[in-house]
Amino acid sequence: MYTNRIYQKSPVPIQNGLLSCRALIRKILREGKNQSTLLSDIQKNEFDVSAMGSFVDTQLTHTLTQATKHVPFYKHAMVSPVHKIADFPIISKADIRENGDNFLADNHRGVIVSGATSGTTGTPLVIKQNMTSVVREQAFVARHLEWAGFKSGDKRAWIRGDMIVPLSQKEGPFWRYSWFENMIMLSSFHMSPNNLQGYIDAMVNYGTQIIQAYPSSIVTLAKHLDIHDQYYSGNLKSIVTSSESLSQEDKQLIEKRFGCIVFDWYGLFERVAAIGSCEHGRYHILSDYSHVELIDIGDGRHEIIGTNFNNSLQPLIRYRTGDHVYLSNETACPCGRVFPVIDRIEGRIGDYLLGEDGQKVHILNHIPKGVTGLIATQFIQNEPKSIEVQAVVNRDLFDEQQEHILIANTKERLGQSMDVFVTIVEQIQKTKNGKTRQAICRVKDA
């Protein structure tokens, strides 16, 4: 909606109204009796080993039955619900891309919602789900928000991957209001150094009680406070972060400067794993969300292999996430919840580029969308106003027109004054850990 010309050209009050109506529709679709019933059920699991075991067994059996009876890929794999989960093949993103609709259940009914993974390699993966899956996801998110102290009616701030105002707008305010959610929504694309104090003042003046943010966005504000030896002057209950990796150092800085606990959330659009931190700072694998296997890959790291419970349209069994965790020596947490404890997550790196006004832009996964023939991308910035897009392409599909679309998408995110050029490469450079960075910024003091 944010890139819609009607929205962008509308006066601020109309934009607030459009945001609020959109939020109301989403609230009606996502919340209701089914969501509240599931929320009540999973809340019973938190402190009860028996309730947890029974719930998990039921969910895993349902997923295996649905997959083997109604999903072509698993029918062809010659496995059945009576097999142990270890008998199922481990799958990856490549398997889903190659097999397409063979991962979709043939007994689905109703609306299908498509979404894409974060695409840190430059190649987002499209995942499909039904509305039941959307509702179930919201129940788990709501439970974690309750861990963070959220109560109905609390005022929230939202600083995530939404371009709340057009990138071409150079004067504030860079935020709008969603009335039905009691939420101030702030653009994460306009966080240049000169604008940061305005963001902080806007949240304080609104009376924000809980902030939901990308780690990169809230860390930017925390560092601004730190540089000026300031502390957030409002009264926050908590800050909830998700969608990017959060280092322990950054978490401590945020908590120091904002004066509250950070509740971090790890999840994937594939719905195969979720990890949430509690009020004691421990990370818990939410074992009633999905079935998680931790495969030892050495150096103390374990890869997350997940089986989703909450998407009967596209049930994924033993899906290789590519993300890693480090195990904890603790077998229990002071919070009393029965979820397994891990030490830390080594997942998505918060890479960034510098936009035309010097702002750090971390949200780059939308740039490759809609470009035909694009296999993978990596953004390299050696100068403040120049971006090289290294691209692995299918040369039969990626032509001059597609290159222009890729350049236009990049400028849409970083600014029209940026010099953007595309370099075709055979493969994208990987890190020592075998991961592909989305962006490499070599600008000094960035």
Domains and CATH numbers, the chain: 353-441 (3.30.300.30)
Question: pLDDT at residue 143 above 90?
Answer: yes
Mean pLDDT within 383-408:
92
Query: In whole angstroms, what is the distance from residue 276 CA to residue 147 CA?
Result: 9
Confidence of residue 431 (pLDDT cuts 50, 70, 90): low
Query: In whole angstroms, what is the distance from residue 45 CA to residue 62 CA?
Result: 18
Query: In whole angstroms, what is the distance from residue 119 CA to residue 428 CA?
Result: 14
Mean pLDDT within 82-89:
86
Decide if 182 contacts 145 (C-beta within 8 A). Answer: no
Query: In whole angstroms, what is the distance from residue 362 CA to residue 381 CA?
Result: 13
pLDDT for position 113: 85
pLDDT for position 433: 45
Listed range (152-156, 194-198, 347-351, 431-435) with the worst mean pLDDT: 431-435
Six-digit token string for 174: 């860079």
Query: In whole angstroms, what is the distance from residue 220 CA to residue 350 CA?
Result: 12
Question: pLDDT at residue 434 above 50?
Answer: no
What SS3 class is residue 432?
A: coil
The 3-class SS string of 357-418 reads CCCEECCCCCCCCCCCCEEEEEEEEEECCEEEEEEEECCCCCCHHHHHHHHHHHHHHHCCCC
pLDDT tens per residue across span 202-229: 999 999 999 999 887 898 899 889 888 9
pLDDT tens per residue across span 328-350: 988 899 999 999 999 988 765 55
156 DSSP β-pair partners:
183, 210
Query: In whole angstroms, what is the distance from residue 292 CA to residue 340 CA?
Result: 11
Q: 127: buried, middle or exposed (CB in 10 Å: 19+, 13-18, 0-12)? A: buried
Mean pLDDT within 156-184:
90
The residue with greater pLDDT, 33 or 184, is 184
Nearest to 380 by CA among 416, 349, 352: 352
Six-digit token string for 399: 């032509």
Mean pLDDT within 19-43:
88
pLDDT for position 6: 82
% of the chain residues with pLDDT over 90: 57
CB atoms within 10 A of CB 80: 14
Query: In whole angstroms, what is the distance from residue 168 CA to residue 415 CA?
Result: 7
DSSP state of 91: B
The identity of residue 7, as a single letter, is Y
Q: What are phi and psi of 88, to 5 degrees?
A: -80, 145
Range 388-415 burial, b when 16+ CB lie within 10 A, else e: bbbbbbeeeebeeebbebbbebbbbbbb
> Can you tell me which residue has the tokens 């450079």?
429
Listed range (291-295, 298-302, 407-411) with the worst mean pLDDT: 298-302
Nearest to 172 by CA among 157, 192, 158, 154: 192
Query: In whole angstroms, what is the distance from residue 222 CA to residue 256 CA?
Result: 9
Listed range (34-43, 76-85, 334-343) with the worst mean pLDDT: 76-85
Nearest to 138 by CA among 261, 239, 272, 37: 37
Query: In whole angstroms, what is the distance from residue 231 CA to residue 275 CA?
Result: 29
Query: In whole angstroms, what is the distance from residue 52 CA to residue 17 CA?
Result: 42
pTM of the entire structure? 0.81
Confidence of residue 57 (pLDDT cuts 50, 70, 90): very high
Q: What are phi and psi of 49, to 5 degrees?
A: -60, -40
DSSP β-ladder status, 274-277 and 283-285: antiparallel
CB atoms within 10 A of CB 113: 14
> Can you tell me which residue has the tokens 């794999």?
77
Mean pLDDT within 233-237:
96
